[in-house]
Structure 1
């Protein structure tokens, strides 16, 4: 573990313990993207923003914390791309189209519901993304964020950037509890991305220090990580020698 990894883990530990101590998350949230109390209000606050109202396509993580946002996206008629957990297939995104759903948005937006009713798609079959909704453990007011440490959000965003689906026009949003917003600096590496907006039940924070990778950074990927993600393994085999 590098010094940056250790510093990130220290921030995670403090935030997880603070959330549990203050009763802001259910028991057993330590180690996870926390499904925080007030996530429904946060989704409503996000839906009031102009960037949301004009968005036609939304990409979101499958974490429980983002469930109200995924439901709202479908209710608002937006095309929703939901990451397949752990990017476990060659088509690592679920496509949920509110115009063709056969079940209510509340069912389709769940992990199990999406697995049953959504079509799995790869980047070649996706439309440009207007809003990315990312799960986070902690975010700074400048826009730096950290997840739970598995790296899937970073890989998803990098993959979409490389495919030209996440561009400078795409807005990246972190819906979090107020206790997840930290005043301290969060260390960043080349493959990390920052967020443009932080939305909590209490406020909307516009972040000024945008950072995004240019795409996948292969030298940061271990052979074990590449082998565990079918699409990465396929892309690795197709790269020039």
Structure 2
């Protein structure tokens, strides 16, 4: 499989080319873990990157953490649970009627569910509590999955647009603000040149990047979007994400005329 086979390849040719180069680089270097193309790639050193993230004061202060559901962030979710943080993870591909799972380490312990199981997508889908966006508390730190990143906070995901969509929803609901750290963990070979990523107005920039080799605080110059750019949400996202149309209607009612 190649990056051109991705269902999202035609959305942005520049970003598609960047993610293809990263996927190919990971495989050529032999630092991928499992399949790579068309996904947030797992990588050798994911544990070390998660430890670097967890050493940050911003992580230590955070009581409520949101993390993407992908395999390379299993170590991040596991550290959140062992550190006693209330964890929220989205349903993979946002494919259910509810968008998120609430994973409470105290409840897991009371139910004799080991954290290693609960940190996987299968585990938190089985043992997490389904929640709506509207029922989530304010988030202290957000972790997103990335294919490629730049030192100034630019990012490309796998192309589906889930991360930017959820960040926009969080902002509309007041769950995050400009002070909320947005972090990721990636392999050092996923850090790419600034010229390879074009940041658009609806894109959320990273403030923290942790690799197996270093921690990057981006001091990003990119302005974070104020909410969802509904004009950029594609028809297939409305058809594939069961709750999205209802959520848009609810948010627009709250905004008023």
Which TM-score applies when normalising by structure 1?
A: 0.94
- Give secondary structure in 2 for the equivalent of 1:157: helix
Paired residue total: 241
* 1:193 maps to which of 195, 204, 209: 204
1:1-241 equivalent positions in 2, closer than 5 A:
5-101=12-108, 102=111, 103-185=113-195, 186-208=197-219, 209-238=221-250, 239=252
- Quote how far apart the aligned CAs of 1:227 are: 2.6
Mind listing any 5+ residue stretches in structure 2 that lack a counterpart?
Answer: 1-7
* Cα distance in structure 1, aligned partners of 2:9 and 2:106: 47
- Quote how far apart the aligned CAs of 1:184 are: 3.3
Mind listing any 5+ residue stretches in structure 1 that lack a counterpart?
Answer: none
* Cα distance in structure 1, aligned partners of 2:236 and 2:33: 32
Closer/same/farther in 2, CA of residues 156 and 98 from structure 1, 3 Å limit: same
- Quote how far apart the aligned CAs of 1:2 are: 10
- Give secondary structure in 1 for the equivalent of 2:174: coil
Which stretch of the first structure deviates more once superposed, 183-192 or 99-108? Answer: 183-192
- Quote how far apart the aligned CAs of 1:27 are: 4.6
* Cα distance in structure 1, aligned partners of 2:10 and 2:41: 24
Q: Say what the alpha-carbon RMSD is for the aligned residues.
A: 1.8
- Give secondary structure in 2 for the equivalent of 1:166: coil
- Give secondary structure in 2 for the equivalent of 1:188: coil
Closer/same/farther in 2, CA of residues 78 and 27 from structure 1, 3 Å limit: closer
- Quote how far apart the aligned CAs of 1:86 are: 1.3
CA contact (8 A) 2:152 2:194 kept: no
* Cα distance in structure 2, aligned partners of 1:27 and 1:115: 21
- Quote how far apart the aligned CAs of 1:105 are: 1.0
CA contact (8 A) 1:33 1:147 kept: yes
